[in-house]
Structure 1
């Protein structure tokens, strides 16, 4: 795979030349273990000799670093950033909390590879909020009250998210922990599409019960809004619950949810909202209301199911191609 650029010095041609970025397979051996990865390099478009492209060396090292750490079971810089964001804690307070040197976390983010025991600890904290809670209480004397309370608040919020009393809450948790980036706005719309596809496209039985209301910004499940509204426009963090947590979802449930995620999950919340604004169920439920007028009008399961049954006959929404054609049709002038 290659892409063409221009304006870089080729020492062989002795002038500024256009060049392409190519990809090649590489193999490194460290301590007798092989690591394979793809490396990008520059190629002069005139003499076809390899040339030095600013930034590519660092990019390749970062790419290899991620692969090396993943295969070696060592925490990555991305994981550490996720850990900091998940618990709303800064680098120095985290170092103090864990009894590390003050700049240890900063050095890890600069590229230093942690010792195995430190890496394992950080990974446990990333994936287990109860382990983080234990560490927080044991080390609270090493951080300020402000830092302690911020982490405590985040852990409480995570506990609230991982608990559920209804299947609707369980489906929401499943969506939040998918591979897709989810906000409060996109979560509401993805839940709506799960209900729509279960009622009108697949088996005709709703994956979950729960009142859906026609709010100004599209369909909303009030109970889920109350649970996740604290995140506002921010991404909802992945909780990584134990897989057994989702035992309450049938294989058919997961099939429908995964289909919705694989077709609508790539779209941001604003686009998902715009799609629902162009659909009959939401519009019908808001007849007589101003554009941004608040409403608790219910979008009935029957209206959702009937609408999607009709759309399914036109576009075959059981396929990705059919869903894409349907979405495209909504935005045609």
Structure 2
């Protein structure tokens, strides 16, 4: 019983290795991190050397390990606790961490392009159309995430949950990580589909989903495979005479009237 309790505590309490990961990933020193968190400046040093943090302090450090956006919010809130040099250095690091995954980078680019005028749900469908037209027009995926089938009706559920939790943050996006072709496609998707509200995009995608067959990924999650999405969008290109980016508008324009029964 006692052994199980110890094991349970070990799983909960942040480890020295995890703290070292924070220092490395966010390019911040031990004393600056302690200052950022409003703690004594030797606190992080002591934890790395073997002192056991309180549950409150451990939970805060665990949250940083698990969620870069949490660290980003702390940084904005407590920036006066750091020197300008330390702040700029760690801010750059957390922005890189937050956009490490391609789908997050693209979502942040969309938010930046629209000056924050996107909701978590709306972003989901803009990502879906960007992915579909990228695979159909250029024969390559924009990001590796699969389309998830779930009760939230959010195909990219991890990103959706993060945006729901933290809101829409307008960040300085490292757009040099996107190719000109990718940016041109995303811009065209935004310029085209942002004419329509989330309700219209949801109805439009619901029609497409009715033609999909749900499968399972290696972890047993229900998904719609990229091959099926690509095939569907290839059919859309042929049906609506879409030969390039400037023709993408033909699809939602035509489908909008179909949905309205006009």
Query: What is the TM-score with the length of structure 1 in the denominator?
Result: 0.45
**Structure 2 unaligned spans of 5+:** 1-72, 83-90
Say which of 213, 225, 232 aligns to 1:300. Answer: 225
Aligned to 1:134: 79
- Equivalent-residue separation in structure 1 for 2:211 and 2:153 (angstroms): 9
Aligned to 1:312: 237
Aligned to 2:39: none
Which deviations, in whole Å up to 9, do the C-alpha atoms of 1:217-246 show, x marking residues without a partner? 545112312321215xxx72422x1x5x12
Question: Relative to total residues, which structure has the larger helix share, 1 or 2?
Answer: 2
Aligned to 1:172: 107
Contact 1:198 1:207 in 2 (8 A): yes
- Equivalent-residue separation in structure 2 for 1:175 and 1:321 (angstroms): 18
Aligned to 1:229: 164
3-state secondary structure, aligned to 1:298: strand
Following superposition of structure 1 onto structure 2, how do residues 4-23 of structure 1 map, counting pairs within 5 Å?
A: none
Shift of the 298–306 alpha-carbon distance from structure 1 to 2, 3 Å rule, reads: same
Say which of 250, 253, 262 aligns to 1:325. Answer: 253
**Bigger Rg over Cα:** 1
Shift of the 182–129 alpha-carbon distance from structure 1 to 2, 3 Å rule, reads: farther
Aligned to 2:212: 284
RMSD: 3.2
The number of equivalent residue pairs is: 171
**1:286 Cα deviation from its structure 2 partner:** 5.6
**1:263 Cα deviation from its structure 2 partner:** 0.7
Contact 1:263 1:323 in 2 (8 A): no
Say which of 200, 203, 213 aligns to 2:148. Answer: 213
- Aligned pair 1:183/2:119, yes or no? yes
Which deviations, in whole Å up to 9, do the C-alpha atoms of 1:169-207 show, x marking residues without a partner? 11111112112611110011111111011012x211111
Contact 2:125 2:202 in 1 (8 A): yes
- Equivalent-residue separation in structure 2 for 1:296 and 1:210 (angstroms): 12
**Structure 1 unaligned spans of 5+:** 1-127, 139-155, 288-294
Say which of 252, 269, 277 aligns to 2:181. Answer: 252
Question: Relative to total residues, which structure has the larger strand share, 1 or 2?
Answer: 1
**1:270 Cα deviation from its structure 2 partner:** 2.4
Contact 1:194 1:256 in 2 (8 A): yes
Contact 2:154 2:160 in 1 (8 A): no
Which deviations, in whole Å up to 9, do the C-alpha atoms of 1:65-107 show, x marking residues without a partner? xxxxxxxxxxxxxxxxxxxxxxxxxxxxxxxxxxxxxxxxxxx
- Equivalent-residue separation in structure 2 for 1:132 and 1:230 (angstroms): 17
Which deviations, in whole Å up to 9, do the C-alpha atoms of 1:289-308 show, x marking residues without a partner? xxxxxx94201111111111
3-state secondary structure, aligned to 2:139: coil
- Runs of 4+ aligned residues of structure 1 deviating over 3 Å after TM superposition are 128-133, 159-162, 216-219
Shift of the 161–276 alpha-carbon distance from structure 1 to 2, 3 Å rule, reads: farther
**1:311 Cα deviation from its structure 2 partner:** 1.2
- Equivalent-residue separation in structure 1 for 2:201 and 2:78 (angstroms): 36
**1:328 Cα deviation from its structure 2 partner:** 2.0
Contact 1:315 1:325 in 2 (8 A): no
Shift of the 183–321 alpha-carbon distance from structure 1 to 2, 3 Å rule, reads: closer
Following superposition of structure 1 onto structure 2, how do residues 85-100 of structure 1 map, counting pairs within 5 Å?
A: none
Query: What is the TM-score with the length of structure 2 in the denominator?
Result: 0.56
